[in-house]
Amino acid sequence: LEEAAFQLQQIFRIDISIALNILGIESMRVGHSRVAFTCFKLAADRGYSKAQFNVGLCYEHGKGTEKDLEKAGFYYCQAASSCHPMAQYRYARFLLQHSPGNDWDRHHKAVTLLEQAAVAGVTEAQAYLGVFYMRGLQPQEKRGLKYLLLAANSGDAQSRYHVGVCYEQGLGVQQNLAEALRHYRQSAAAGNRQARERLQA
């Protein structure tokens, strides 16, 4: 009976968190950002990763609360530790851009989180890694191209443009101007200004 009671408590706790998070999303949708933040925070403090991510967004953008990047990073970290892919991406960016501490440890942790998010299908993480590997102190062009292609195939026009650059300049791949043109055309058709300019050039 004790085990059954414990299981019921867990289910109830999770259900309440889900309900609070949904209420937060609906409140945000109709412009009640303070109510939304309160709902997200209640669910986040119960350990619900989707709500933790939403609290992070609220703090990052100042929606329903004061803008606070440190608190945003804290909640992204909480959600990322539960393998929330977008939180992994956001927390990795936080580590690379805002977090103090040992540079190598922070850099390594951020790259690991970006890799996890990219594998989980987060287009933003794929695009970020693609550029990151292309422009690093020790560029890893083939690895960068791999991630740029993943992001491009998920519909990211900017990554499609970067793939075109790779083919035009032979970065991580055999130089192929026809293939570069194909990628530039696809990127331009999706509205990318740089690709249109490159085609004209």
pLDDT tens figures, 134-185 = 987 678 899 999 999 999 999 999 999 999 999 999 999 999 999 999 999 9
Using CA atoms, how far apart are residues 94 and 78, in angstroms rounded to an integer?
13
Q: What is the CATH number of domain 121-200?
A: 1.25.40.10
Residue ranges per structural domain of the chain:
121-200
Interatomic CA distance for residues 179 and 111, integer angstroms: 29
Q: 172: helix, coil or strand?
A: coil
Q: Is 62 helix (H, G, I), strand (E, B) or coil?
A: coil
Report the half-sphere exposure of 195 (CA within 13 A, side-chain side).
23
User: What sign for the dihedral angle of Cα 57, 61, 62, 66?
Assistant: positive
Q: Report the greatest alpha carbon distance in the chain.
A: 75
Q: What residue type is assigned to position 97 of the chain?
A: Q
Token pair 């933790």 in the structure block, residue: 52
Distance CA 55, CA 116 (A): 21
Structure confidence by residue, pLDDT tens digits, 49-97: 999 999 999 999 999 999 999 999 999 999 999 999 999 999 999 998 8
